[in-house]
């Protein structure tokens, strides 16, 4: 059997030429064995009617096996020649022939160096994509954090609006009076700021765990 892989022929036929030749060889060999068994049975039947026959079935079997080895040896020699002819002239695709599915390679030929450059460019684009995906994920996380902080700031603004209304109700319209009033209520503002800081720390820890 030929050791040439003949990969292009396998692409066209859907099987390797060597596999085809092996199946043909096995089919011929099986047929030869079957024919020898038929011949042996015919000889045995003919000898049954012969009076005083000194040839035993064992001798016939030995003779059949020797003849089978003789035929197999000649068959192998003939098959080697037939295989060589079929692989070269029938199951072989010439080097100047291009299959239809490979026409694109003829239109856009690439050398090994150009193909390597394309692979390097693909790897670089993949790395850029991963980096941009990671950056996008970080931006989304930061946006969520900003939404939380914005909500807390809106609470503070609402608190200041309420405080301003309270100051007006108490007649503290001047800056000095308002400042004094704010100083008295600074404890509330500090508590709110502390709450915002704690929530921000929790969000950062949560993002680090993710």
Question: Mind listing the pLDDT tens digit for each residue in 13-60?
Answer: 888 888 889 999 999 999 999 998 898 888 888 877 777 777 788 888
Residue 23 in tokens: 């199946």
Secondary structure of residue 120 in the 3-state scheme: helix
Residue 149 in tokens: 């902080």
Compute the distance between CA of residue 136 and CA of residue 41 in angstroms, rounded to an integer. 84
pTM of this structure: 0.45
Domain ranges in the chain are 7-98, 138-207
C-beta atoms surrounding 146 within 10 Å: 11
Alpha-carbon separation of residue 159 from 115, 133, 156, 181 (angstroms): 66, 39, 5, 14
Cα torsion 137, 138, 142, 145 to 10°: value is 70
Residue 46 in tokens: 């003919």
Check if the beta carbon of residue 182 is closer than 8 Å to that of residue 160: no
Compute φ and ψ for 16, nearest 5 degrees. -80, 140
Compute the distance between CA of residue 10 and CA of residue 197 in angstroms, rounded to an integer. 70
Compute the distance between CA of residue 29 and CA of residue 21 in angstroms, rounded to an integer. 12
Check if the beta carbon of residue 40 is closer than 8 Å to that of residue 61: yes
Q: What is the mean pLDDT of each run of 10 residues along the chain (210 residues)?
A: 68 85 92 90 81 79 90 91 88 79 68 81 90 85 83 77 66 56 65 73 63
């Amino acid at each position: 059997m030929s050791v040439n892989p003949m990969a292009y022929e396998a692409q066209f036929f859907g099987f390797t030429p060597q596999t085809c030749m092996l199946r043909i060889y096995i089919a011929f060999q099986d047929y030869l064995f079957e024919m020898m068994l038929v011949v042996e049975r015919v000889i045995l039947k003919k000898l049954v009617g012969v009076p005083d026959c000194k040839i035993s079935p064992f001798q016939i079997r030995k003779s059949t096996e020797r003849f089978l080895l003789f035929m197999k040896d000649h068959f192998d020699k003939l098959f080697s020649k037939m295989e060589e002819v079929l692989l070269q002239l029938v199951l072989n695709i010439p080097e100047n022939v291009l299959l239809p599915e490979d026409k694109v390679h003829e239109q856009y030929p690439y050398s090994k160096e150009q193909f390597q450059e394309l692979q390097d460019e693909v790897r670089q684009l993949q790395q850029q994509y991963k980096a941009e995906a990671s950056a996008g994920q970080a931006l989304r996380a930061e946006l969520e954090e900003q939404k939380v902080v914005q909500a807390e700031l809106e609470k503070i603004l609402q608190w200041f609006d309420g405080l301003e209304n309270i100051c007006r109700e108490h007649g503290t319209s001047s800056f000095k009076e308002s400042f004094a009033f704010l100083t008295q209520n600074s404890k509330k503002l500090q508590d709110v700021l502390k709450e915002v800081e704690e929530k921000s720390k929790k969000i950062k820890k949560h993002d680090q765990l993710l």
